[in-house]
Amino acid sequence: MRIATWNVNSITARLPRLLAWLESTGTDVLCVQETKCTAEQFPTDELRELGYESVVNATGRWNGVALISRVGIEDVVTGLPGDPGYEGGPEPRAISATCGPARVWSVYVPNGREVDHPHYAYKLQWFEALKAAVAGDAAGSRPFAVLGDYNVAPTDDDVWDISLFEGATHVTPAERAALAALRETGLTDVVPRPLKYDHPFTYWDYRQLGFPKNRGMRIDLVYGNAAFAGAVKDSYVDREERKGKGASDHAPVVVDLDV
């Protein structure tokens, strides 16, 4: 079984690449972030023609998450229970479902913007709500994983130059403590570092030749429980999909399971 996560940075802009990627990789379940569309604009029909079901939590031009599966989608939960909300209400940042033998979440953790910005406090509160929501499944015996754009680099080695991030979000002790607390529910990072290269970054800014110069960050993560992690046979960052015209600024992260 092949499960992946991909921040597509607009599913409308990325649709031809997305459909081609699904077809060429044989991915069974894809967790998508930053759909940047309404639910009505989501390409349900195009995905169905490829043999995929889909569910989406999206409200407009910002944020948005989805699950795409060819092994079934059941027991869907849209949104994050206990979501603290931002500026008057919850944002479309989480969706979960049972896909075949595994239970999965697709999450798009708030960016945080700046350390002294209200969005940073919201980010930490959102992590607390996520931890509470997944704790039961994380400790269970069914394969379970939380996949997505966490907007946190777990270690200093997960950014191209830590000296450039002083005082910035994504690397602060509080954000990393929130990640550690999430892992303490029974989850582990199932994409080891290093992989086939020294720095398996997953995001590169479009500006200043970020990708050609490999000025990246590893912020797209797959955290699985013991049953999920024990079934992992391979994992990789698909850097090829970050190349060329019309690419997202994130690359897909792929995990192969023996389940």
Q: What is the C-alpha to C-alpha distance for residues 55 and 120, in angstroms, rounded to an integer?
A: 28
Chain segment 107-146, per-residue pLDDT in tens: 999 999 999 999 999 999 999 999 999 999 999 999 999 9
pLDDT value of position 45:
98
Q: Is it the case that residue 88 has pLDDT exceeding 90?
A: no
At the second CATH level, the architecture of 2-257 is 4-Layer Sandwich (3.60)
So what's the pLDDT on residue 40? 97
45 included as an active-site residue: no
Q: What are the pLDDT digits (tens) for 222-250?
A: 999 999 999 999 999 999 999 999 999 99
pLDDT band at 84 (very low <50, low <70, confident <90, very high): very high
How far is CA 4 from each of CA 28, 60, 67, 166, 169, rounded to the nearest angstrom? 8, 24, 10, 31, 25
Residues that constitute the known binding site for Mg(2+): 7, 34, 149, 151, 249-250
Q: Report the alpha-carbon angle 94-119-96, nearest 5.
A: 5
pLDDT given at position 192: 74
Q: Please indicate whether residue 83 is annotated as part of the active site.
A: no
Catalytic residue among 108, 120, 122, 203: 108
Residue ranges covered by each domain of the chain:
2-257
What pLDDT shows up at residue 78?
Answer: 98
Annotated binding site: 7, 34, 149, 151, 249-250
pLDDT digits (tens, 9 = 90+) for 142-166: 999 999 999 999 999 999 999 999 9
pLDDT at residue 61 in the model: 87
The per-residue pLDDT for range 31-80, each reduced to its tens digit, is 999 999 999 999 999 999 999 999 999 999 899 999 999 999 999 999 99
Q: Which of 149, 150, 158, 170 is catalytic?
A: 149
pTM (global) more than 0.75: yes
**Is 108 tagged catalytic?**
yes
Angle at 176 between CA 172 and CA 179, to 5 degrees: 150
pLDDT in tens, 173-229: 999 999 999 999 999 999 976 555 556 899 999 999 999 999 999 999 999 999 999
* pLDDT at residue 24 in the model: 98
